[in-house]
Protein backbone atom coordinates (compact mmCIF):
# COMPACT_ATOMS: atom_id res chain seq x y z
CA UNK A 1 0.00 0.00 0.00
CA UNK A 2 1.39 3.36 -0.96
CA UNK A 3 1.58 6.25 1.45
CA UNK A 4 -0.42 8.92 -0.32
CA UNK A 5 1.92 11.83 0.37
CA UNK A 6 5.41 10.73 1.30
CA UNK A 7 7.33 12.77 3.82
CA UNK A 8 10.98 13.83 3.87
CA UNK A 9 12.83 11.19 1.88
CA UNK A 10 16.34 12.30 2.84
CA UNK A 11 15.49 12.12 6.50
CA UNK A 12 13.87 8.73 6.14
CA UNK A 13 17.07 7.38 4.66
CA UNK A 14 19.03 8.71 7.62
CA UNK A 15 16.97 7.32 10.48
CA UNK A 16 17.45 3.92 12.01
CA UNK A 17 17.22 1.70 15.05
CA UNK A 18 19.80 1.04 17.71
CA UNK A 19 21.20 3.42 20.31
CA UNK A 20 19.08 6.51 20.71
CA UNK A 21 20.56 9.92 21.42
CA UNK A 22 17.70 12.20 22.45
CA UNK A 23 18.88 15.14 24.52
CA UNK A 24 17.31 17.84 26.63
CA UNK A 25 13.71 17.26 25.76
CA UNK A 26 10.38 16.19 27.20
CA UNK A 27 8.43 13.15 26.09
CA UNK A 28 4.69 13.50 26.65
CA UNK A 29 2.11 10.80 25.98
CA UNK A 30 -1.33 11.67 24.73
CA UNK A 31 -3.78 8.91 25.66
CA UNK A 32 -7.04 9.37 23.76
CA UNK A 33 -9.77 7.02 22.54
CA UNK A 34 -7.73 3.86 22.76
CA UNK A 35 -4.42 5.19 21.46
CA UNK A 36 -1.17 6.33 23.12
CA UNK A 37 0.59 8.94 20.98
CA UNK A 38 4.04 10.28 21.96
CA UNK A 39 4.90 13.95 21.58
CA UNK A 40 8.63 14.71 21.76
CA UNK A 41 9.27 18.33 22.78
CA UNK A 42 12.73 19.74 22.05
CA UNK A 43 14.22 23.18 21.87
CA UNK A 44 13.87 26.43 23.77
CA UNK A 45 10.91 25.78 26.07
CA UNK A 46 11.74 28.87 28.13
CA UNK A 47 10.87 30.98 25.09
CA UNK A 48 7.16 30.24 25.60
CA UNK A 49 6.98 29.64 21.82
CA UNK A 50 5.79 26.17 20.77
CA UNK A 51 5.26 24.76 17.28
CA UNK A 52 3.30 21.53 16.81
CA UNK A 53 4.71 19.64 13.82
CA UNK A 54 2.22 17.58 11.79
CA UNK A 55 4.36 15.07 9.92
CA UNK A 56 3.85 13.69 6.43
CA UNK A 57 2.54 10.35 5.28
CA UNK A 58 0.07 9.10 6.24
CA UNK A 59 2.56 6.71 7.74
CA UNK A 60 5.42 8.98 8.79
CA UNK A 61 6.50 10.06 12.26
CA UNK A 62 7.40 13.26 14.02
CA UNK A 63 11.06 12.62 14.79
CA UNK A 64 11.98 11.96 11.16
CA UNK A 65 11.77 15.75 10.87
CA UNK A 66 14.30 16.31 13.64
CA UNK A 67 17.36 16.37 11.43
CA UNK A 68 19.13 19.06 9.51
CA UNK A 69 20.49 22.54 10.01
CA UNK A 70 16.98 23.97 9.92
CA UNK A 71 16.10 22.12 13.14
CA UNK A 72 19.19 23.38 14.92
CA UNK A 73 18.20 26.93 14.07
CA UNK A 74 14.57 26.40 15.07
CA UNK A 75 15.33 24.76 18.40
CA UNK A 76 17.63 27.57 19.48
CA UNK A 77 14.66 29.94 19.42
CA UNK A 78 11.48 27.88 19.90
CA UNK A 79 10.25 24.53 21.19
CA UNK A 80 9.17 22.07 18.51
CA UNK A 81 6.60 19.37 19.29
CA UNK A 82 7.37 16.28 17.18
CA UNK A 83 4.14 14.33 17.51
CA UNK A 84 3.44 10.80 16.26
CA UNK A 85 -0.11 10.80 14.96
CA UNK A 86 -2.54 7.96 15.65
CA UNK A 87 -1.42 4.72 14.01
CA UNK A 88 1.95 6.16 12.98
CA UNK A 89 5.50 6.20 14.30
CA UNK A 90 5.70 5.06 17.93
CA UNK A 91 1.99 5.51 18.63
CA UNK A 92 0.25 2.44 19.98
CA UNK A 93 -3.31 1.26 20.40
CA UNK A 94 -6.40 1.84 18.34
CA UNK A 95 -5.62 2.29 14.66
CA UNK A 96 -8.23 -0.09 13.29
CA UNK A 97 -8.99 0.95 9.69
CA UNK A 98 -12.72 1.04 10.34
CA UNK A 99 -12.21 3.58 13.15
CA UNK A 100 -9.83 5.93 11.32
CA UNK A 101 -11.60 9.09 10.24
CA UNK A 102 -10.58 12.71 9.88
CA UNK A 103 -12.96 13.59 12.70
CA UNK A 104 -11.06 11.27 15.04
CA UNK A 105 -7.72 12.76 13.99
CA UNK A 106 -9.01 16.29 14.49
CA UNK A 107 -10.20 15.31 17.95
CA UNK A 108 -6.71 13.89 18.69
CA UNK A 109 -5.15 17.24 17.84
CA UNK A 110 -7.63 19.04 20.09
CA UNK A 111 -6.45 16.84 22.95
CA UNK A 112 -2.79 17.47 22.15
CA UNK A 113 -3.37 21.24 22.38
CA UNK A 114 -5.00 20.74 25.79
CA UNK A 115 -2.11 18.55 26.95
CA UNK A 116 0.50 21.12 25.91
CA UNK A 117 -1.32 23.99 27.61
CA UNK A 118 -1.73 21.96 30.79
CA UNK A 119 1.96 21.08 30.73
CA UNK A 120 3.50 24.42 29.74
CA UNK A 121 0.86 27.02 30.58
CA UNK A 122 -2.36 28.40 29.15
CA UNK A 123 -0.52 31.48 27.88
CA UNK A 124 1.99 29.76 25.59
CA UNK A 125 2.39 31.07 22.07
CA UNK A 126 1.24 28.12 19.98
CA UNK A 127 1.74 27.63 16.23
CA UNK A 128 0.65 24.77 14.00
CA UNK A 129 2.92 23.52 11.19
CA UNK A 130 2.00 20.88 8.62
CA UNK A 131 4.13 19.43 5.83
CA UNK A 132 2.70 17.38 2.95
CA UNK A 133 -0.02 15.15 4.46
CA UNK A 134 0.38 17.31 7.56
CA UNK A 135 -0.84 20.17 5.37
CA UNK A 136 -3.99 18.19 4.58
CA UNK A 137 -4.51 17.51 8.27
CA UNK A 138 -3.72 21.04 9.43
CA UNK A 139 -5.83 22.78 6.80
CA UNK A 140 -8.78 20.57 7.68
CA UNK A 141 -8.25 21.48 11.33
CA UNK A 142 -8.24 25.17 10.49
CA UNK A 143 -11.71 24.97 8.97
CA UNK A 144 -13.02 25.59 12.51
CA UNK A 145 -12.95 29.14 13.92
CA UNK A 146 -12.87 27.70 17.44
CA UNK A 147 -9.80 25.64 16.64
CA UNK A 148 -8.05 28.57 14.97
CA UNK A 149 -8.51 30.56 18.18
CA UNK A 150 -6.11 28.20 20.00
CA UNK A 151 -3.15 29.24 17.82
CA UNK A 152 -1.13 32.33 17.01
CA UNK A 153 -0.53 31.22 13.43
CA UNK A 154 -0.69 28.46 10.80
CA UNK A 155 2.31 27.34 8.72
CA UNK A 156 1.64 25.12 5.71
CA UNK A 157 4.61 23.66 3.85
CA UNK A 158 3.98 21.88 0.54
CA UNK A 159 0.58 20.93 1.92
CA UNK A 160 -1.92 18.68 0.18
CA UNK A 161 -5.06 20.62 1.06
CA UNK A 162 -6.74 19.64 -2.23
CA UNK A 163 -5.76 16.17 -3.41
CA UNK A 164 -7.85 16.04 -6.62
CA UNK A 165 -6.41 19.42 -7.65
CA UNK A 166 -2.83 18.45 -6.87
CA UNK A 167 -3.17 15.43 -9.18
CA UNK A 168 -4.29 17.66 -12.05
CA UNK A 169 -1.55 20.22 -11.42
CA UNK A 170 1.10 17.47 -11.20
CA UNK A 171 0.06 16.20 -14.65
CA UNK A 172 0.47 19.73 -16.01
CA UNK A 173 3.96 19.97 -14.50
CA UNK A 174 4.95 16.57 -15.91
CA UNK A 175 3.86 17.73 -19.35
CA UNK A 176 5.36 21.23 -19.40
CA UNK A 177 8.56 20.82 -17.39
CA UNK A 178 9.03 17.25 -18.55
CA UNK A 179 8.81 18.22 -22.21
CA UNK A 180 11.21 21.11 -21.64
CA UNK A 181 13.70 18.70 -20.06
CA UNK A 182 13.29 16.32 -23.01
CA UNK A 183 13.95 19.17 -25.42
CA UNK A 184 17.20 19.87 -23.53
CA UNK A 185 18.18 16.19 -23.74
CA UNK A 186 18.16 15.74 -19.96
CA UNK A 187 17.43 12.29 -18.49
CA UNK A 188 15.59 11.38 -21.68
CA UNK A 189 14.41 7.88 -20.81
CA UNK A 190 13.10 8.89 -17.36
CA UNK A 191 11.33 12.01 -18.58
CA UNK A 192 9.85 10.19 -21.58
CA UNK A 193 8.32 7.62 -19.24
CA UNK A 194 6.81 10.36 -17.08
CA UNK A 195 5.58 12.51 -19.96
CA UNK A 196 4.06 9.54 -21.79
CA UNK A 197 2.20 8.60 -18.62
CA UNK A 198 0.95 12.17 -18.13
CA UNK A 199 -0.25 12.43 -21.71
CA UNK A 200 -2.33 9.29 -21.21
CA UNK A 201 -4.19 10.49 -18.10
CA UNK A 202 -7.74 11.84 -18.38
CA UNK A 203 -7.54 14.66 -15.83
CA UNK A 204 -11.33 14.73 -15.58
CA UNK A 205 -11.37 11.13 -14.37
CA UNK A 206 -8.20 10.26 -12.45
CA UNK A 207 -8.40 6.80 -10.88
CA UNK A 208 -7.01 5.83 -7.47
CA UNK A 209 -4.25 3.82 -9.17
CA UNK A 210 -3.33 6.78 -11.34
CA UNK A 211 -3.25 8.98 -8.25
CA UNK A 212 -0.74 6.59 -6.71
CA UNK A 213 1.38 6.66 -9.85
CA UNK A 214 1.26 10.47 -9.94
CA UNK A 215 2.64 10.48 -6.40
CA UNK A 216 5.48 8.12 -7.30
CA UNK A 217 6.39 10.01 -10.45
CA UNK A 218 6.21 13.26 -8.48
CA UNK A 219 9.07 12.16 -6.25
CA UNK A 220 11.02 10.78 -9.20
CA UNK A 221 10.59 13.99 -11.22
CA UNK A 222 11.94 16.12 -8.40
CA UNK A 223 15.11 14.03 -8.34
CA UNK A 224 15.65 14.69 -12.07
CA UNK A 225 15.82 18.48 -11.79
CA UNK A 226 19.41 19.67 -12.00
CA UNK A 227 18.72 23.09 -10.49
CA UNK A 228 17.83 21.71 -7.05
CA UNK A 229 20.07 22.34 -4.12
CA UNK A 230 21.01 19.15 -2.32
CA UNK A 231 21.51 18.72 1.38
CA UNK A 232 25.18 19.46 1.96
CA UNK A 233 27.05 19.48 5.24
CA UNK A 234 26.08 23.09 5.86
CA UNK A 235 22.37 22.32 5.53
CA UNK A 236 21.67 18.75 6.58
CA UNK A 237 22.80 17.09 9.79
CA UNK A 238 21.37 14.12 11.64
CA UNK A 239 22.16 14.71 15.33
CA UNK A 240 20.48 11.58 16.68
CA UNK A 241 18.92 8.28 15.73
CA UNK A 242 15.19 7.90 15.45
CA UNK A 243 13.72 5.54 18.07
CA UNK A 244 10.92 4.49 15.71
CA UNK A 245 11.43 0.89 14.59
CA UNK A 246 11.38 1.09 10.81
CA UNK A 247 9.71 -2.31 10.32
CA UNK A 248 6.85 -1.89 12.78
CA UNK A 249 6.52 1.79 11.86
CA UNK A 250 6.16 0.94 8.20
CA UNK A 251 3.59 -1.77 8.94
CA UNK A 252 1.39 0.36 11.19
CA UNK A 253 1.78 3.31 8.83
CA UNK A 254 0.53 1.21 5.93
CA UNK A 255 -2.49 0.09 7.96
CA UNK A 256 -3.23 3.69 8.85
CA UNK A 257 -2.82 4.88 5.26
CA UNK A 258 -5.18 2.13 4.10
CA UNK A 259 -7.78 3.10 6.67
CA UNK A 260 -7.62 6.79 5.81
CA UNK A 261 -7.85 6.11 2.08
CA UNK A 262 -10.90 3.94 2.74
CA UNK A 263 -12.42 6.76 4.76
CA UNK A 264 -12.06 9.14 1.81
CA UNK A 265 -8.93 11.27 2.31
CA UNK A 266 -8.17 11.20 -1.42
CA UNK A 267 -11.35 13.19 -1.98
CA UNK A 268 -10.36 16.00 0.40
CA UNK A 269 -10.63 19.25 -1.57
CA UNK A 270 -10.42 22.39 0.57
CA UNK A 271 -9.54 25.05 -1.99
CA UNK A 272 -13.07 26.47 -1.99
CA UNK A 273 -13.08 26.56 1.83
CA UNK A 274 -9.77 28.34 2.39
CA UNK A 275 -11.61 31.61 2.99
CA UNK A 276 -12.57 30.21 6.40
CA UNK A 277 -8.98 30.54 7.61
CA UNK A 278 -8.69 33.93 9.32
CA UNK A 279 -5.48 33.13 11.21
CA UNK A 280 -2.09 34.62 10.21
CA UNK A 281 -0.70 32.15 7.68
CA UNK A 282 2.74 31.36 6.25
CA UNK A 283 2.91 29.20 3.12
CA UNK A 284 6.22 27.53 2.22
CA UNK A 285 6.72 25.75 -1.12
CA UNK A 286 9.40 24.36 -3.41
CA UNK A 287 9.28 25.63 -7.01
CA UNK A 288 9.90 22.11 -8.31
CA UNK A 289 7.45 20.26 -6.08
CA UNK A 290 5.82 17.74 -8.41
CA UNK A 291 4.23 15.89 -5.45
CA UNK A 292 2.16 18.84 -4.20
CA UNK A 293 2.58 21.42 -6.98
CA UNK A 294 3.20 25.10 -6.24
CA UNK A 295 -0.17 26.05 -7.74
CA UNK A 296 -1.75 24.91 -4.46
CA UNK A 297 0.41 27.46 -2.67
CA UNK A 298 -0.59 30.22 -5.07
CA UNK A 299 -4.26 29.27 -4.64
CA UNK A 300 -3.94 29.41 -0.86
CA UNK A 301 -2.17 32.78 -0.91
CA UNK A 302 -5.05 34.19 -2.93
CA UNK A 303 -7.98 32.54 -1.15
CA UNK A 304 -7.13 32.32 2.56
CA UNK A 305 -9.44 34.71 4.38
CA UNK A 306 -6.91 36.99 6.07
CA UNK A 307 -4.72 39.79 4.83
CA UNK A 308 -1.95 38.55 7.14
CA UNK A 309 -0.62 35.85 4.81
CA UNK A 310 2.58 35.20 2.89
CA UNK A 311 3.81 32.68 0.34
CA UNK A 312 7.55 31.91 0.18
CA UNK A 313 8.63 30.02 -2.96
CA UNK A 314 12.03 28.31 -2.72
CA UNK A 315 13.57 28.50 -6.18
CA UNK A 316 15.89 25.52 -5.81
CA UNK A 317 13.69 23.04 -3.90
CA UNK A 318 11.19 20.30 -4.53
CA UNK A 319 8.83 18.70 -1.98
CA UNK A 320 11.12 19.25 1.01
CA UNK A 321 12.72 22.73 1.00
CA UNK A 322 13.95 22.13 4.56
CA UNK A 323 16.61 19.87 3.05
CA UNK A 324 18.46 21.93 0.44
CA UNK A 325 17.49 25.43 1.62
CA UNK A 326 17.23 24.72 5.33
CA UNK A 327 18.78 27.90 6.69
CA UNK A 328 16.42 30.15 4.73
CA UNK A 329 13.51 27.85 5.55
CA UNK A 330 14.13 28.06 9.31
CA UNK A 331 14.68 31.82 9.13
CA UNK A 332 11.29 32.29 7.42
CA UNK A 333 9.52 30.19 10.06
CA UNK A 334 11.19 32.04 12.94
CA UNK A 335 10.47 35.44 11.41
CA UNK A 336 6.78 34.53 11.12
CA UNK A 337 6.58 33.16 14.66
CA UNK A 338 8.38 36.13 16.22
CA UNK A 339 6.12 38.53 14.33
CA UNK A 340 3.00 36.89 15.80
CA UNK A 341 3.58 36.64 19.52
CA UNK A 342 0.99 37.61 22.09
Can you give the residue ranges of every domain in the chain?
9-162+230-338, 167-222
Kind of pairing between the strands at 125-131 and 49-54:
parallel
Beta bridge partners of 154: 128, 281
Domain 9-162+230-338 has CATH 3.50.50.60: no
* Alpha carbons 311 and 226: distance in angstroms, whole number: 24
Mean of all residue pLDDT scores within the chain: 87
Residues of the chain with pLDDT under 70: 1-23, 97, 230-255, 257-259, 261-263
Q: Do residues 309 and 281 make contact, with C-beta atoms less than 8 angstroms apart?
A: yes
Per residue in 115-152, pLDDT (tens digit) is 999 999 999 999 999 999 999 999 999 999 999 999 99
* Residues found in the chain: 342
Q: What is the pLDDT of residue 133?
A: 95
CA 75 vs. chain centroid, Å, equals 18
255-282 core/surface letters (b: 16 or more CB in 10 A; e: else): bbbbbbbebebbebebbebbebbbbbbb
Amino acid sequence: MRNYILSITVLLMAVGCGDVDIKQGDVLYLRHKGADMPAYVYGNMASNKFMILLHGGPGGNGLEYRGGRYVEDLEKDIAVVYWDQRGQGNSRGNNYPEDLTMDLLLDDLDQLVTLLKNQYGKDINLFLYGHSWGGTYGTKYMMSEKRQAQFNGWIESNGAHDIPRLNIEAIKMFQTIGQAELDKGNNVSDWKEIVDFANGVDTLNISEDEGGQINQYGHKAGELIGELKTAGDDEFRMPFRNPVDMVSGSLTGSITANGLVESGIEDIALTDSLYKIKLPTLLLWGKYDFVVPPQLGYDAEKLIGTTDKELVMYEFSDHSPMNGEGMAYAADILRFINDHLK
